[in-house]
Structure 1
């Protein structure tokens, strides 16, 4: 858990809310993916002399874990508030994609939410050194993710004219990620399923964590925060335990592609 950072006094309401959601991502939700990050780092033997670029690195937890293994890391995060938190953690960040090539380029969050996952994978491949690896990750099988009914709210509460919003599980079927790897001009080089349980100290933290994920931005804009919080609370309530904590079983899938040319 990262400590809260002091906000400037004179920021707009929208800016303040965006910064709070970024904090909630860093302090609540991002750590749920630590098992995925660690599995990827172990599989690729991340260590000294390894250069790692994180595309959509959020507030940088995956890169901090790679740096702890001795890797040279850099991130690229399009959300300004998350990028600021990554920089506050001391991580080097790219203002834009440059021509540098890295041994490992990861897309560990945001692939499933991308309107064009293949284009994102192709961008990752362009930034990978020959012989290096690209790692793509997404949700695992829908039936093995207790968060699936909660994520379904993101589409149901969004503007009906935006029903083309990405399905969180569009790339979760066996072989789907590997097809993206091949489409990006990479050679499939393994992958796996990683259990990533979501655990929260209370129901309010769970609601804040899901709101911070980015999946609900369209629903937030259309249905409003009050309605969305109400629906999220109802969807999360079945996972509440007697001691007030909340836990959901989830699985994530990752695939690795090697750049040969």
Structure 2
């Protein structure tokens, strides 16, 4: 069985204009950022009693830590990830992760054509929020890939006032053109996740809120971790990496602790829905 230990990779990160690292931040996600969401993954798996009877598909699974944690509980897991570097990192962890456009429908127990649990943990990421209509399409896909009687889980940020990272994420909004930016809190309003699920023909069946503090050993790691979310890519394209990184550091300064570490308290929310037909 694969281990949930975070490991490095030899994949190279492309360089952006001027030599700044504006794109290809897959390694920073895998080594710094994804572990911040472990409380969310574990809370969902505990609630749904994920184990040997579970067949799980992670849509937009990035470098695959959520899949590893499910596999450690005995689940049979597979994932889909659009980003090439993130997908290669997940595959380097011996996970079965494919490109969404090349869904494997081969015979055998895995990969399968339908799953007892489909997760969209990263619905707040830029690829799911841009272009308009993408959240609806992603949730509709999750519904199609769930077995009848199976479950779909959506997750996202809680209310901005309960998330200290909100002021840091606001840099992405301020430095992106209105037509190209995205709002990570677009789905944090009451009923937004439930509306996506019911619109896809699913029946919401409860959910929960989970504290996911973002903690980093130093300011540099915090900047790299936040940039790896993908939320800032439009801002970097529109305003330049140097300016975005400078403003990101300034926004993070209030959260620097006496030992130089950085810590932000955040609340995430998830909703579980059932596929009844």
TM-score range, shorter chain: over 0.9
Q: Which residue matches 1:199?
A: 215
Q: Is the 8 A contact 1:134 1:257 kept in 2?
A: yes
The answer on 1:48 being equivalent to 2:64 is no
Q: Is the 8 A contact 2:23 2:233 kept in 1?
A: no
- d(CA) in 2 for partners of 1:169 and 1:25? 20
**Aligned 1:86-105 pairs, distance under 5 A:** 86-95=90-99, 96-97=102-103, 100-105=113-118
Return the TM-score normalized by structure 1: 0.93
Return the TM-score normalized by structure 2: 0.88
Structure 2, unmatched stretches of 5+, are 106-112
Aligned match for 2:235, one of 204, 210, 219: 219
- d(CA) in 1 for partners of 2:144 and 2:172? 32
The answer on 1:175 being equivalent to 2:191 is yes
Q: Please state how far the C-alpha of 1:2 moved relative to its aligned partner.
A: 2.3
Q: Is the 8 A contact 2:22 2:233 kept in 1?
A: no
Q: Is the 8 A contact 1:112 1:170 kept in 2?
A: no
Q: Mark the CA change 1:18 to 1:74 in structure 2 (over 3 Å): closer, same or farther.
A: farther
- d(CA) in 2 for partners of 1:50 and 1:160? 42
Write out per-residue CA displacement over residues 154-197 of structure 1, whole angstroms, 9 at most, x where no aligned residue: 111112443xx332111112222111111110011110111000
- d(CA) in 2 for partners of 1:172 and 1:12? 32
SS of alignment partner, residue 13 of structure 1: coil
CA RMSD of aligned residues (A): 2.0
Q: Which residue matches 1:71?
A: 75
- d(CA) in 2 for partners of 1:190 and 1:108? 16
Q: Mark the CA change 1:111 to 1:259 in structure 2 (over 3 Å): closer, same or farther.
A: farther
- d(CA) in 2 for partners of 1:20 and 1:119? 25
Structure 1, unmatched stretches of 5+, are none
Runs of 4+ in 1 over 4 A off after TM superposition: 16-20
Aligned match for 2:167, one of 122, 142, 149: 149
Aligned match for 1:158, one of 176, 185, 208: 176
- d(CA) in 2 for partners of 1:12 and 1:37? 29
- d(CA) in 2 for partners of 1:234 and 1:92? 39
Q: Which residue matches 1:237?
A: 253
- d(CA) in 1 for partners of 2:241 and 2:145? 38
Q: Which residue matches 1:186?
A: 202
Q: Please state how far the C-alpha of 1:215 moved relative to its aligned partner.
A: 0.3
Q: Is the 8 A contact 2:124 2:184 kept in 1?
A: no
- d(CA) in 1 for partners of 2:154 and 2:103? 18
Q: Is the 8 A contact 2:60 2:80 kept in 1?
A: yes
